[in-house]
Chain A
Amino acid sequence: MMLSKRLIVCLDVRDKKVTKGIKFKGNIDIGDPVELAKQYYDDGVDELVFYDITASAEGRPIDIEMVEDVAQNIFIPFSVGGGIRSVEDMRRALLAGAEKISVNSLAVKNPEIIREGAKAFGRQCVVLGMDAKKVSVSYAIPSGYEIVIQGGRKPMGIDALAWAKQAEELGAGEICLNSIDADGTKQGYELNLTRMISEAVSIPVIASGGGGTCDHVVDVLGKGKADAALIASMVHYGDYTCSGIKEYVSSKGIKMRQIV
Protein backbone atom coordinates (compact mmCIF):
# COMPACT_ATOMS: atom_id res chain seq x y z
CA MET A 1 0.00 0.00 0.00
CA MET A 2 1.43 3.38 -0.91
CA LEU A 3 0.48 6.92 -1.79
CA SER A 4 -0.28 7.30 -5.49
CA LYS A 5 1.33 9.95 -7.62
CA ARG A 6 -1.28 12.37 -8.93
CA LEU A 7 -2.30 13.45 -12.41
CA ILE A 8 -3.73 16.96 -12.37
CA VAL A 9 -5.42 18.75 -15.24
CA CYS A 10 -5.08 22.51 -15.43
CA LEU A 11 -7.91 24.63 -16.75
CA ASP A 12 -6.63 28.06 -17.73
CA VAL A 13 -9.75 30.15 -18.05
CA ARG A 14 -10.14 33.38 -19.95
CA ASP A 15 -13.49 34.99 -20.83
CA LYS A 16 -15.25 31.94 -19.35
CA LYS A 17 -13.48 29.57 -21.73
CA VAL A 18 -10.64 27.16 -21.13
CA THR A 19 -7.72 28.39 -23.16
CA LYS A 20 -4.20 27.19 -23.85
CA GLY A 21 -1.23 29.15 -24.99
CA ILE A 22 2.42 28.65 -25.70
CA LYS A 23 4.69 30.38 -23.21
CA PHE A 24 1.69 32.41 -22.12
CA LYS A 25 1.32 33.93 -25.58
CA GLY A 26 -1.14 33.31 -28.42
CA ASN A 27 -4.01 31.60 -26.60
CA ILE A 28 -6.66 29.50 -28.30
CA ASP A 29 -10.03 28.45 -26.91
CA ILE A 30 -10.52 24.83 -25.87
CA GLY A 31 -14.02 24.75 -24.40
CA ASP A 32 -16.42 25.25 -21.52
CA PRO A 33 -14.71 24.89 -18.10
CA VAL A 34 -17.61 23.11 -16.42
CA GLU A 35 -18.06 20.61 -19.24
CA LEU A 36 -14.34 19.92 -19.42
CA ALA A 37 -14.08 19.57 -15.64
CA LYS A 38 -16.89 16.98 -15.67
CA GLN A 39 -15.31 15.15 -18.57
CA TYR A 40 -11.91 14.90 -16.85
CA TYR A 41 -13.53 13.94 -13.55
CA ASP A 42 -15.39 11.07 -15.23
CA ASP A 43 -12.17 10.08 -16.95
CA GLY A 44 -10.40 9.60 -13.59
CA VAL A 45 -8.29 12.72 -13.17
CA ASP A 46 -7.03 13.00 -9.58
CA GLU A 47 -7.33 16.72 -9.15
CA LEU A 48 -8.24 19.85 -11.06
CA VAL A 49 -6.71 23.29 -11.08
CA PHE A 50 -8.61 26.31 -12.27
CA TYR A 51 -6.68 29.47 -13.11
CA ASP A 52 -8.49 32.68 -13.93
CA ILE A 53 -5.59 33.85 -16.05
CA THR A 54 -6.75 37.37 -16.80
CA ALA A 55 -8.06 38.30 -13.34
CA SER A 56 -4.78 39.77 -12.07
CA ALA A 57 -4.07 41.76 -15.22
CA GLU A 58 -7.62 43.10 -15.24
CA GLY A 59 -7.41 43.96 -11.56
CA ARG A 60 -10.53 41.99 -10.66
CA PRO A 61 -11.16 39.10 -8.27
CA ILE A 62 -11.36 35.50 -9.41
CA ASP A 63 -14.55 34.49 -11.23
CA ILE A 64 -16.41 33.10 -8.20
CA GLU A 65 -19.46 31.98 -10.18
CA MET A 66 -17.26 29.84 -12.35
CA VAL A 67 -15.53 28.35 -9.31
CA GLU A 68 -18.96 27.44 -7.91
CA ASP A 69 -20.14 25.94 -11.18
CA VAL A 70 -17.08 23.72 -11.39
CA ALA A 71 -17.16 22.76 -7.70
CA GLN A 72 -20.75 21.54 -7.94
CA ASN A 73 -19.82 19.00 -10.54
CA ILE A 74 -16.60 17.37 -9.42
CA PHE A 75 -15.87 15.51 -6.19
CA ILE A 76 -12.13 15.48 -6.18
CA PRO A 77 -9.64 18.10 -4.94
CA PHE A 78 -9.96 21.38 -6.73
CA SER A 79 -7.52 24.30 -6.50
CA VAL A 80 -8.06 27.76 -7.84
CA GLY A 81 -5.82 30.68 -8.59
CA GLY A 82 -5.70 34.03 -10.32
CA GLY A 83 -6.98 37.28 -8.90
CA ILE A 84 -6.36 36.32 -5.27
CA ARG A 85 -5.34 39.50 -3.46
CA SER A 86 -6.09 38.86 0.18
CA VAL A 87 -7.13 36.34 2.83
CA GLU A 88 -10.69 37.53 2.23
CA ASP A 89 -10.40 36.57 -1.47
CA MET A 90 -9.13 33.16 -0.36
CA ARG A 91 -12.10 32.73 1.95
CA ARG A 92 -14.54 33.57 -0.85
CA ALA A 93 -12.97 31.01 -3.16
CA LEU A 94 -13.04 28.35 -0.43
CA LEU A 95 -16.67 29.10 0.32
CA ALA A 96 -17.41 28.72 -3.38
CA GLY A 97 -16.19 25.14 -3.15
CA ALA A 98 -12.45 25.20 -3.85
CA GLU A 99 -10.21 23.54 -1.27
CA LYS A 100 -6.85 24.87 -2.18
CA ILE A 101 -5.88 28.37 -3.17
CA SER A 102 -2.92 28.99 -5.37
CA VAL A 103 -0.99 32.20 -4.89
CA ASN A 104 1.81 33.19 -7.22
CA SER A 105 2.74 36.79 -7.97
CA LEU A 106 0.86 37.99 -4.89
CA ALA A 107 3.11 35.84 -2.70
CA VAL A 108 6.24 37.13 -4.46
CA LYS A 109 5.22 40.69 -3.69
CA ASN A 110 3.84 39.89 -0.24
CA PRO A 111 5.18 36.60 1.19
CA GLU A 112 3.20 37.11 4.40
CA ILE A 113 0.03 36.17 2.53
CA ILE A 114 1.23 32.56 2.70
CA ARG A 115 1.50 32.71 6.48
CA GLU A 116 -1.84 34.49 6.82
CA GLY A 117 -3.61 32.02 4.54
CA ALA A 118 -2.11 29.03 6.34
CA LYS A 119 -3.08 30.44 9.72
CA ALA A 120 -6.65 31.15 8.64
CA PHE A 121 -7.41 27.95 6.72
CA GLY A 122 -4.62 25.49 7.44
CA ARG A 123 -1.50 25.03 5.38
CA GLN A 124 -3.07 22.35 3.20
CA CYS A 125 -5.20 25.13 1.68
CA VAL A 126 -2.28 27.22 0.47
CA VAL A 127 -0.49 26.27 -2.73
CA LEU A 128 2.47 28.34 -3.82
CA GLY A 129 2.45 28.65 -7.57
CA MET A 130 5.89 29.58 -8.85
CA ASP A 131 7.11 30.34 -12.34
CA ALA A 132 10.83 29.67 -12.75
CA LYS A 133 13.10 30.48 -15.65
CA LYS A 134 16.58 29.12 -16.32
CA VAL A 135 19.28 31.79 -16.04
CA SER A 136 23.05 31.88 -15.57
CA VAL A 137 24.16 30.95 -12.08
CA SER A 138 25.03 34.10 -10.17
CA TYR A 139 25.48 35.33 -6.63
CA ALA A 140 21.83 36.40 -6.55
CA ILE A 141 20.55 33.28 -8.32
CA PRO A 142 22.75 30.40 -7.11
CA SER A 143 20.36 27.67 -8.27
CA GLY A 144 20.34 28.97 -11.84
CA TYR A 145 16.55 29.36 -11.81
CA GLU A 146 14.94 32.73 -11.28
CA ILE A 147 11.40 33.54 -10.20
CA VAL A 148 9.44 35.43 -12.85
CA ILE A 149 5.95 36.87 -12.83
CA GLN A 150 3.49 38.26 -15.37
CA GLY A 151 3.68 35.15 -17.51
CA GLY A 152 7.45 35.18 -17.55
CA ARG A 153 7.80 38.77 -18.68
CA LYS A 154 9.07 40.13 -15.38
CA PRO A 155 12.16 38.67 -13.70
CA MET A 156 12.13 39.23 -9.96
CA GLY A 157 15.77 38.66 -9.01
CA ILE A 158 14.69 35.90 -6.62
CA ASP A 159 16.27 32.47 -6.56
CA ALA A 160 13.70 29.73 -7.19
CA LEU A 161 15.22 27.24 -4.73
CA ALA A 162 15.47 29.81 -1.93
CA TRP A 163 11.90 30.91 -2.62
CA ALA A 164 10.56 27.37 -2.45
CA LYS A 165 12.22 26.84 0.95
CA GLN A 166 11.00 30.18 2.23
CA ALA A 167 7.44 29.43 1.13
CA GLU A 168 7.55 26.12 2.97
CA GLU A 169 8.70 27.89 6.13
CA LEU A 170 5.97 30.48 5.74
CA GLY A 171 3.38 27.72 5.68
CA ALA A 172 2.69 26.70 2.08
CA GLY A 173 1.21 23.19 1.96
CA GLU A 174 2.25 22.42 -1.57
CA ILE A 175 4.22 23.91 -4.45
CA CYS A 176 3.06 24.04 -8.04
CA LEU A 177 6.28 24.52 -9.94
CA ASN A 178 6.01 25.79 -13.48
CA SER A 179 8.94 25.97 -15.86
CA ILE A 180 8.48 29.00 -18.08
CA ASP A 181 10.98 27.56 -20.54
CA ALA A 182 9.12 24.28 -20.92
CA ASP A 183 5.58 25.61 -20.65
CA GLY A 184 3.45 24.89 -23.70
CA THR A 185 6.32 23.31 -25.65
CA LYS A 186 5.15 19.69 -25.17
CA GLN A 187 8.86 18.79 -25.13
CA GLY A 188 8.89 17.40 -21.62
CA TYR A 189 9.07 18.78 -18.08
CA GLU A 190 12.13 20.54 -16.72
CA LEU A 191 13.44 17.53 -14.81
CA ASN A 192 16.47 19.20 -13.20
CA LEU A 193 14.45 22.04 -11.80
CA THR A 194 11.71 19.73 -10.58
CA ARG A 195 14.04 17.30 -8.84
CA MET A 196 16.03 20.10 -7.25
CA ILE A 197 12.96 21.74 -5.72
CA SER A 198 11.22 18.50 -4.79
CA GLU A 199 14.29 17.21 -2.93
CA ALA A 200 14.78 20.50 -1.12
CA VAL A 201 11.35 20.78 0.47
CA SER A 202 9.27 18.36 2.51
CA ILE A 203 5.93 19.47 1.06
CA PRO A 204 4.52 17.95 -2.13
CA VAL A 205 5.62 19.39 -5.47
CA ILE A 206 3.45 19.48 -8.58
CA ALA A 207 5.47 19.70 -11.79
CA SER A 208 4.04 21.94 -14.46
CA GLY A 209 5.00 22.94 -17.96
CA GLY A 210 6.14 20.86 -20.90
CA GLY A 211 4.11 17.66 -20.59
CA GLY A 212 3.43 16.36 -24.11
CA THR A 213 3.60 12.56 -23.92
CA CYS A 214 2.97 9.81 -21.40
CA ASP A 215 6.71 9.26 -21.11
CA HIS A 216 7.16 12.88 -20.07
CA VAL A 217 4.77 12.21 -17.18
CA VAL A 218 6.66 9.02 -16.28
CA ASP A 219 9.94 10.93 -16.33
CA VAL A 220 8.84 13.81 -14.13
CA LEU A 221 7.19 11.55 -11.54
CA GLY A 222 10.18 9.19 -11.60
CA LYS A 223 13.45 10.97 -12.34
CA GLY A 224 11.98 14.38 -11.59
CA LYS A 225 10.78 13.24 -8.12
CA ALA A 226 7.55 15.19 -8.49
CA ASP A 227 4.58 14.16 -6.39
CA ALA A 228 2.13 15.14 -9.09
CA ALA A 229 2.21 16.09 -12.76
CA LEU A 230 0.14 18.91 -14.16
CA ILE A 231 -1.06 18.50 -17.73
CA ALA A 232 -3.16 20.63 -20.04
CA SER A 233 -2.62 20.39 -23.78
CA MET A 234 -2.16 16.61 -23.70
CA VAL A 235 -5.82 16.14 -22.87
CA HIS A 236 -7.28 19.44 -24.09
CA TYR A 237 -6.50 18.62 -27.72
CA GLY A 238 -7.87 15.10 -27.36
CA ASP A 239 -4.53 13.43 -28.00
CA TYR A 240 -4.67 11.57 -24.69
CA THR A 241 -7.17 10.66 -21.99
CA CYS A 242 -6.51 10.90 -18.26
CA SER A 243 -7.32 7.22 -17.79
CA GLY A 244 -5.01 6.28 -20.66
CA ILE A 245 -2.12 8.32 -19.28
CA LYS A 246 -2.58 6.87 -15.81
CA GLU A 247 -2.71 3.35 -17.12
CA TYR A 248 0.51 3.89 -19.07
CA VAL A 249 2.31 5.52 -16.14
CA SER A 250 1.23 2.68 -13.85
CA SER A 251 2.54 0.13 -16.34
CA LYS A 252 5.97 1.76 -15.92
CA GLY A 253 5.94 1.00 -12.22
CA ILE A 254 4.73 4.34 -10.89
CA LYS A 255 1.66 3.96 -8.74
CA MET A 256 -1.37 5.97 -9.83
CA ARG A 257 -4.97 5.68 -8.74
CA GLN A 258 -6.94 3.43 -11.06
CA ILE A 259 -10.69 3.70 -11.23
CA VAL A 260 -11.92 0.22 -10.38
Chain B
Amino acid sequence: MGGGVDIVIAIIDYEAGNLRSVELALKHIGADCIVTQDPEVIKSADKVIFPGVGAAESCMENLKRFRMDKALVDALESNKKVLAICVGMQLLFEKSMEDGGVDCLGVLKGTVEHFEFPNEERVKIPHMGWNEVDFVTPHPVFKNIPPSSEYYFVHSYYVEGNDIEILAGKTEYAGKVFTSAIARDNLAATQFHPEKSGKVGLQILKNFLDW
Protein backbone atom coordinates (compact mmCIF):
# COMPACT_ATOMS: atom_id res chain seq x y z
CA MET B 1 0.00 0.00 0.00
CA GLY B 2 2.62 2.51 1.11
CA GLY B 3 2.48 6.21 1.74
CA GLY B 4 -0.01 5.84 4.53
CA VAL B 5 -3.00 5.95 2.20
CA ASP B 6 -5.99 4.01 3.54
CA ILE B 7 -4.07 2.86 6.57
CA VAL B 8 -5.82 3.78 9.76
CA ILE B 9 -3.55 4.00 12.73
CA ALA B 10 -5.16 3.93 16.15
CA ILE B 11 -3.27 5.82 18.84
CA ILE B 12 -4.22 4.38 22.21
CA ASP B 13 -5.44 7.14 24.50
CA TYR B 14 -5.38 6.21 28.14
CA GLU B 15 -4.97 9.75 29.41
CA ALA B 16 -1.30 9.25 30.09
CA GLY B 17 0.88 12.20 29.33
CA ASN B 18 0.97 13.72 25.95
CA LEU B 19 -0.49 11.95 22.94
CA ARG B 20 -0.93 15.09 20.94
CA SER B 21 2.65 15.22 19.71
CA VAL B 22 2.38 11.66 18.36
CA GLU B 23 -0.79 12.61 16.52
CA LEU B 24 0.71 15.82 15.12
CA ALA B 25 3.81 14.02 13.87
CA LEU B 26 1.72 11.31 12.18
CA LYS B 27 -0.55 13.88 10.54
CA HIS B 28 2.50 15.75 9.33
CA ILE B 29 3.69 12.68 7.40
CA GLY B 30 0.24 12.15 5.96
CA ALA B 31 -0.94 9.27 8.13
CA ASP B 32 -4.61 8.62 8.62
CA CYS B 33 -4.69 8.31 12.40
CA ILE B 34 -7.17 8.45 15.18
CA VAL B 35 -6.69 8.95 18.90
CA THR B 36 -9.04 6.60 20.69
CA GLN B 37 -10.22 5.29 24.04
CA ASP B 38 -12.47 2.74 22.36
CA PRO B 39 -11.27 -0.91 22.23
CA GLU B 40 -13.50 -1.46 19.17
CA VAL B 41 -11.58 1.17 17.24
CA ILE B 42 -8.32 -0.57 18.14
CA LYS B 43 -9.85 -3.78 16.86
CA SER B 44 -10.80 -2.29 13.51
CA ALA B 45 -7.58 -0.32 12.99
CA ASP B 46 -4.86 -1.56 10.69
CA LYS B 47 -2.03 -0.54 12.97
CA VAL B 48 -1.71 0.56 16.56
CA ILE B 49 0.53 3.02 18.35
CA PHE B 50 0.94 2.64 22.09
CA PRO B 51 2.48 5.86 23.38
CA GLY B 52 3.20 6.73 26.94
CA VAL B 53 4.57 9.49 29.07
CA GLY B 54 4.44 9.64 32.82
CA ALA B 55 4.45 7.22 35.69
CA ALA B 56 4.04 3.45 35.14
CA GLU B 57 1.53 2.97 37.94
CA SER B 58 -0.98 5.58 36.80
CA CYS B 59 -0.44 4.49 33.20
CA MET B 60 -1.30 0.87 34.07
CA GLU B 61 -4.32 1.96 36.08
CA ASN B 62 -5.66 4.06 33.23
CA LEU B 63 -4.91 1.36 30.70
CA LYS B 64 -7.06 -1.08 32.67
CA ARG B 65 -9.75 1.48 33.38
CA PHE B 66 -10.24 2.05 29.65
CA ARG B 67 -9.95 -1.72 28.96
CA MET B 68 -7.06 -0.87 26.69
CA ASP B 69 -4.80 -3.51 28.22
CA LYS B 70 -6.82 -6.29 26.65
CA ALA B 71 -7.33 -4.36 23.40
CA LEU B 72 -3.57 -3.98 23.07
CA VAL B 73 -2.78 -7.61 23.82
CA ASP B 74 -5.49 -8.67 21.35
CA ALA B 75 -3.98 -6.41 18.70
CA LEU B 76 -0.58 -8.01 19.20
CA GLU B 77 -2.06 -11.50 19.07
CA SER B 78 -4.09 -10.72 15.95
CA ASN B 79 -0.83 -9.85 14.21
CA LYS B 80 -1.53 -6.14 13.81
CA LYS B 81 1.60 -4.05 13.55
CA VAL B 82 2.14 -2.25 16.85
CA LEU B 83 4.59 0.54 17.72
CA ALA B 84 5.11 1.17 21.43
CA ILE B 85 6.87 4.33 22.58
CA CYS B 86 8.73 5.14 25.83
CA VAL B 87 6.53 4.20 28.80
CA GLY B 88 4.38 2.32 26.27
CA MET B 89 7.40 0.13 25.59
CA GLN B 90 8.16 -0.30 29.29
CA LEU B 91 4.60 -1.37 30.10
CA LEU B 92 4.99 -4.35 27.76
CA PHE B 93 7.34 -5.97 30.25
CA GLU B 94 6.40 -8.03 33.28
CA LYS B 95 7.19 -5.48 35.92
CA SER B 96 8.41 -1.93 36.42
CA MET B 97 10.28 -0.91 39.54
CA GLU B 98 8.66 2.54 39.35
CA ASP B 99 6.49 3.58 42.32
CA GLY B 100 7.79 0.68 44.40
CA GLY B 101 6.97 -1.99 41.80
CA VAL B 102 4.12 -2.18 39.32
CA ASP B 103 2.84 -5.27 37.52
CA CYS B 104 2.75 -4.54 33.80
CA LEU B 105 1.40 -6.31 30.73
CA GLY B 106 3.93 -9.13 30.60
CA VAL B 107 3.99 -9.33 26.81
CA LEU B 108 7.79 -9.28 27.00
CA LYS B 109 9.99 -10.95 29.61
CA GLY B 110 11.92 -8.74 31.98
CA THR B 111 11.81 -5.94 34.50
CA VAL B 112 12.07 -2.20 34.00
CA GLU B 113 14.73 -0.82 36.34
CA HIS B 114 15.58 2.63 37.70
CA PHE B 115 18.85 4.25 36.62
CA GLU B 116 21.26 4.10 39.55
CA PHE B 117 24.65 5.76 39.49
CA PRO B 118 27.18 6.41 42.26
CA ASN B 119 26.52 9.78 43.86
CA GLU B 120 29.97 11.13 43.15
CA GLU B 121 29.46 10.71 39.41
CA ARG B 122 26.68 13.30 39.49
CA VAL B 123 24.84 11.70 36.59
CA LYS B 124 21.65 13.56 35.76
CA ILE B 125 18.38 11.65 35.93
CA PRO B 126 16.17 11.61 33.88
CA HIS B 127 18.28 10.66 30.90
CA MET B 128 16.96 13.65 29.01
CA GLY B 129 18.09 14.79 25.61
CA TRP B 130 19.57 13.46 22.39
CA ASN B 131 21.54 10.25 22.23
CA GLU B 132 22.52 7.69 19.63
CA VAL B 133 21.04 4.27 19.01
CA ASP B 134 23.14 1.34 17.89
CA PHE B 135 20.73 -0.66 15.75
CA VAL B 136 21.97 -4.22 16.05
CA THR B 137 19.81 -5.88 13.46
CA PRO B 138 18.16 -4.71 10.23
CA HIS B 139 14.45 -4.03 10.60
CA PRO B 140 11.88 -2.36 8.32
CA VAL B 141 10.94 0.20 11.01
CA PHE B 142 14.54 1.17 11.69
CA LYS B 143 15.82 1.58 8.14
CA ASN B 144 16.84 4.51 5.92
CA ILE B 145 18.40 6.38 8.80
CA PRO B 146 21.87 7.91 8.57
CA PRO B 147 24.36 6.29 10.94
CA SER B 148 25.16 8.24 14.13
CA SER B 149 21.73 9.87 14.10
CA GLU B 150 20.45 10.99 17.49
CA TYR B 151 17.04 10.57 19.05
CA TYR B 152 15.23 12.32 21.86
CA PHE B 153 15.03 10.46 25.15
CA VAL B 154 13.40 11.36 28.42
CA HIS B 155 13.20 8.59 31.00
CA SER B 156 14.43 7.56 34.43
CA TYR B 157 13.72 3.84 34.01
CA TYR B 158 15.24 1.45 31.51
CA VAL B 159 15.30 -2.12 30.24
CA GLU B 160 18.63 -3.97 30.28
CA GLY B 161 20.16 -4.30 26.84
CA ASN B 162 20.85 -8.02 27.04
CA ASP B 163 17.82 -9.84 25.63
CA ILE B 164 18.93 -10.59 22.10
CA GLU B 165 15.56 -12.16 21.29
CA ILE B 166 13.94 -8.74 21.20
CA LEU B 167 16.85 -6.28 21.03
CA ALA B 168 16.80 -4.09 17.92
CA GLY B 169 18.85 -1.16 19.22
CA LYS B 170 20.84 -0.21 22.27
CA THR B 171 22.02 3.05 23.80
CA GLU B 172 24.56 3.93 26.44
CA TYR B 173 24.09 6.49 29.17
CA ALA B 174 26.91 7.17 31.61
CA GLY B 175 28.30 3.69 31.08
CA LYS B 176 24.94 1.91 31.32
CA VAL B 177 23.84 0.10 28.16
CA PHE B 178 20.09 -0.25 27.83
CA THR B 179 17.53 -1.37 25.28
CA SER B 180 16.45 1.61 23.17
CA ALA B 181 14.67 -0.25 20.38
CA ILE B 182 12.81 -3.55 20.31
CA ALA B 183 11.54 -5.74 17.50
CA ARG B 184 9.62 -8.99 17.80
CA ASP B 185 7.27 -10.33 15.15
CA ASN B 186 4.60 -7.65 14.60
CA LEU B 187 5.85 -5.45 17.46
CA ALA B 188 8.34 -2.59 17.27
CA ALA B 189 9.12 -0.40 20.24
CA THR B 190 11.36 2.51 21.13
CA GLN B 191 12.53 3.97 24.41
CA PHE B 192 13.14 7.28 22.61
CA HIS B 193 10.40 9.48 21.18
CA PRO B 194 10.33 9.26 17.37
CA GLU B 195 7.66 11.98 17.33
CA LYS B 196 10.14 14.35 18.98
CA SER B 197 13.31 13.22 17.23
CA GLY B 198 13.20 15.58 14.26
CA LYS B 199 13.58 14.22 10.76
CA VAL B 200 15.04 10.83 11.71
CA GLY B 201 12.13 10.31 14.09
CA LEU B 202 9.64 11.13 11.34
CA GLN B 203 11.48 8.64 9.13
CA ILE B 204 10.87 5.92 11.72
CA LEU B 205 7.18 6.80 11.84
CA LYS B 206 7.06 6.69 8.02
CA ASN B 207 8.76 3.31 8.13
CA PHE B 208 6.09 2.13 10.53
CA LEU B 209 3.38 3.28 8.09
CA ASP B 210 5.03 1.31 5.33
CA TRP B 211 5.73 -1.78 7.46
Q: Interface residues, chain A, CB within 8 Å of chain B?
A: 1-6, 41, 44, 46, 71-72, 75-78, 94-99, 121-125, 173-174, 199, 202-204, 227-228, 257-260
Contacts and interface: CB of A to CB of B under 8 A. Distances in A.
Contact of B130 (A122, A173, A257, A260): A257
A95 B147 contact: no
Contact of B20 (A77, A97, A204): A97
Interface of B: 17-18, 20-21, 24-25, 27-28, 53-55, 122-132, 134, 146-150, 152-155, 171-174, 195-199, 201-202
Contacts of B123: 202
B56 to A, nearest CB: 10
B28 A204 contact: no
Contacts of A121: 17-18, 53-54
B18 A3 contact: no
Contacts of A95: 18, 20
B198 A3 contact: no
A99 B124 contact: no
A71 B146 CA distance: 25
Contact of A204 (B128, B147, B172): B128
A199 B21 contact: no
B148 A260 contact: yes
A17 B196 CA distance: 25
A31 to B, nearest CB: 22
B161 to A, nearest CB: 12
A4 B124 contact: no
Given A6-B129, A46-B130, A75-B201, A99 B196 contact: yes
A36 to B, nearest CB: 17
A125 B28 CA distance: 23
Given A99-B53, A173-B128, A94 B122 contact: no
A122 B20 contact: no
A199 B121 CA distance: 10
Contacts of A44: 198
30 contacts: A1-B134, A1-B171, A2-B173, A2-B174, A3-B153, A3-B174, A4-B130, A44-B198, A46-B130, A71-B20, A71-B24, A72-B24, A72-B27, A72-B28, A75-B196, A95-B20, A97-B18, A99-B18, A121-B17, A122-B55, A123-B126, A125-B17, A125-B53, A173-B154, A174-B128, A204-B124, A204-B126, A204-B129, A259-B198, A260-B147
Contacts of A76: 152, 196-198
Contacts of A228: 129
Contacts of B53: 99, 121-122, 124-125
A4 B20 contact: no
Contacts of B199: 75, 259
B28 A77 contact: no
Contacts of A203: 124-126
Contacts of B125: 202-203
Contacts of B202: 75
A124 B201 CA distance: 20
Contacts of A259: 198-199
Contacts of A99: 18, 21, 53, 196
Nearest to B132: A1
A90 B199 CA distance: 27
B20 A3 contact: no
A86 to B, nearest CB: 17
